[in-house]
Amino acid sequence: MWFNARAALCSATLRPRSYGNGGGLVQRFLRQAALAWAVAAIVSGAALAADQPVKIVALGDSLTAGYQLPASAAFPARLERALKAKGMAVDIANAGVSGDTSSGGLARLDWSVPEGTDAVILELGANDMLRGVDPKLTRKALETIVRSLKSRGVEVLLAGMRAPPNMGPEYRRAFDTIFPDLASTYGLVFYSFILDGIVADPKLKQRDGMHPNEAGVDVIVGRILPKVEELVGRVRARR
């Protein structure tokens, strides 16, 4: 009797009186630890995504392709080099096709701009102008490209083109307004004239008087660079 009472007393003394509460504390600790782990994983994943190179496709004509230039001297290659020199992680694919029109760019859009592309530099329209294509058709093709890219979540930098005086004032007015109108309507990063700084300087052009030489490409890169940095910034802000 005495032994049983003493054993019961010892048992009651040694038994954790708040075992049930302790279990709750353990469960709360585990829940908090799991939550902390999940948050850390999300933050880590976001940081990893932010560190990934921004994938850009330069979709254009011969001005993008690098007509008569080595691949390393083409606009996309020189632009990528300039951005990396500023510490920006980018990969720029050259999807320029010499002689391409805006309709041609639209026809090959899906395979020229693969899944996983973050941004596109859209440089088309020069050949439309040189061939006297109706500006309404050029506008429609470019707008369809822009809408398709936007629906995919791809950021767009639109590089503008301008018609020369010999095309006549009516054509020039209809053509030149395509680019700022689209940029304004769709909230695009906009560079008003891809040939700015070289169009009137023969030292920056090849013998055909139309295409930039290597020095000309460097001028284009230097002038468009702030707009491309803005484009990259938009991509990173969304990650």
Q: Active site residue: 11, 51, 62, 148, which one?
A: 62
Active-site annotation holds for 62: yes
Active-site annotation holds for 196: no
| Distance (Å, whole) CA 238 – CA 179 | 25
Active-site annotation holds for 184: no
Give the contacts of 80 (CB within 8 A, at least 6 positions apart).
Answer: 90, 91, 92
Q: Active site residue: 102, 151, 211, 218, which one?
A: 211
Q: Distance from CA of residue 158 to its chain's centroid? A: 12
| Distance (Å, whole) CA 142 – CA 21 | 67
In contact, 159 and 121? CB cutoff 8 Å: yes
DSSP characters over 58-96: EEESHHHHTTTS-GGGSHHHHHHHHHHHTT--EEEEEEE
The number of helices, as runs of H, and strands, as runs of E, in the chain is 11, 5
Amino acid at 216: G
Catalytic residue annotation: 62, 208, 211
